[in-house]
Amino acid sequence: MAKRVALTGNEAVALAMKQINPDVVAAYPITPQTDIVQYFASFVADGQVSSQFVRVESEHSAMSATIGASAAGARAMTATSSQGLALMHEMLHIASSYRLPIVMPVVNRALSGPINIHCDHSDTMNARDTGWLHLYCEDVQEAYDNTFIAMRIAEHPDLLLPVMVCYDGFIISHSLENLIIEDDEVVRKFVGEYKPDRYLLDAANPYTVGPLALYDYFFEHKRQQAEAMFGAKRVVAEVSEAYARATGRGYGFLAPYRMDDAEVAIVVIGSTAGTARTAVDQLRRDGIKAGLVKIRVFRPAPVEEIVAALNPLKAVAVMDRADSFAGFGGPLFSEVRSWLYGRTGVPMANFIYGLGGRDVVVKDVLAVYEHLGKLAAGKAGPEIVHYLGVRE
């Protein structure tokens, strides 16, 4: 029977992994992810799971071992943050191109340098084109739930692609929140037993993993990988609906807030959505028709959903907790702007904020909406990209 408890984000995700009971977890500690594998290692040591826990010498090795385990037919997981994800980068492409259903919680942390252990989204945005699905979480409940959802998505026979479950370092990973946890039997029934169609240890049906493919077949391999991502939206929707039926908690590609009659809106991912909702409520009391769109699923791209949500608006701001260093805004802004291109002419602005864990508070978000009011009225300056809360 489901029950309400208080856990940190990392405790909740470690508990979700315990309830999944994967065959193999290979991991290396890195702040602020360390708690996940520390808690999980204690479950292994206490005999509460049957998982094989592999202690490796680096994150590159962690992903390599996870890839090997998954290719051998095991249900395999790992977890990381920041520089650890960057060190894995080479192997991320291998995992997705081999169509391995690995699930990896990623506790978002700034990429160095300078050295920083606090939250921004530069690590996972750096991995946005690696062929992994990306689910972003706003709070501890979502981090817990998305771990189960990600496992079933990844292992769906029509998909077979790896999934990152992304949530903000310290803000979610180390914050104690109330959440509902499910009974083990409910989790086992939802996630199911992993039965791969083919695997390296099936001696009766051998197949090749990691072949050489030059110009004769490489393009076709990449096209199949792209086609899987095109079809991922259907799988994500089906699994999310199944989770809603099993638990009563449903998750869409987006989480719109007060958008029915909104004239201006912010697009955001992660924990900042909660702060932005408070700003929206305040503005609504003042008679301003403000709204909010939280992106939950970043890969596959929720193009149709974003267009439908933003098309009627007079102005939109995209808030980025990362910079692309392209000289034209952050990665989320670039993505959303491209999704809207040719489909709507709504004026847009980009606000880069919170790098390296800098706090964003309600007054900061209110400043974004103030700019949107000017943009909607045609009174904003020519600048498109803004840096929110930085000393300059």
- Average pLDDT on 245-270 reads 98
CB 140 within 8 A of CB 79: no
pLDDT digits (tens, 9 = 90+) for 175-222: 999 999 999 999 999 999 999 999 998 999 998 899 899 999 999 999
* CATH architecture designation of domain 3-247: 3-Layer(aba) Sandwich (3.40)
DSSP 8-state symbol, 209: S
According to CATH, where is 3.40.50.970 located in the chain? 3-247
Please determine, for residue 109, whether its predicted confidence score (pLDDT) is greater than 90: yes
When pLDDT is cut at 50, 70 and 90, the band that residue 373 belongs to is very high
pLDDT digits (tens, 9 = 90+) for 146-175: 999 999 999 999 999 999 999 999 999 999
- Average pLDDT on 365-388 reads 98
Considering the chain, what percentage of its residues have pLDDT values greater than 90? Answer: 98
- Average pLDDT on 100-125 reads 98
Closest CA to 136 of 276, 306, 254: 254
Which are the contacts of 257, defined by CB distance < 8 A and separation ≥ 6? 273, 276, 277, 280, 291, 292, 293, 294
Q: Give dist(CA 94, CA 100) in Å, integer.
A: 9
Q: In this predicted structure, what is the pLDDT of residue 35?
A: 96
pLDDT digits (tens, 9 = 90+) for 299-352: 999 999 999 999 999 999 999 999 999 999 999 999 999 999 999 999 999 999
According to CATH, where is 3.40.50.920 located in the chain? 254-388
Q: Give dist(CA 65, CA 53) in Å, integer.
A: 11
Mean pLDDT of the chain: 97
pTM: 0.98
CB 120 within 8 A of CB 354: yes
Q: Which CATH class is domain 254-388?
A: alpha beta
Q: Give dist(CA 208, CA 219) in Å, integer.
A: 18
Q: In this predicted structure, what is the pLDDT of residue 9?
A: 98
CB 316 within 8 A of CB 350: no
Q: In this predicted structure, what is the pLDDT of residue 284?
A: 98
Q: In this predicted structure, what is the pLDDT of residue 1?
A: 83
- Average pLDDT on 140-146 reads 98
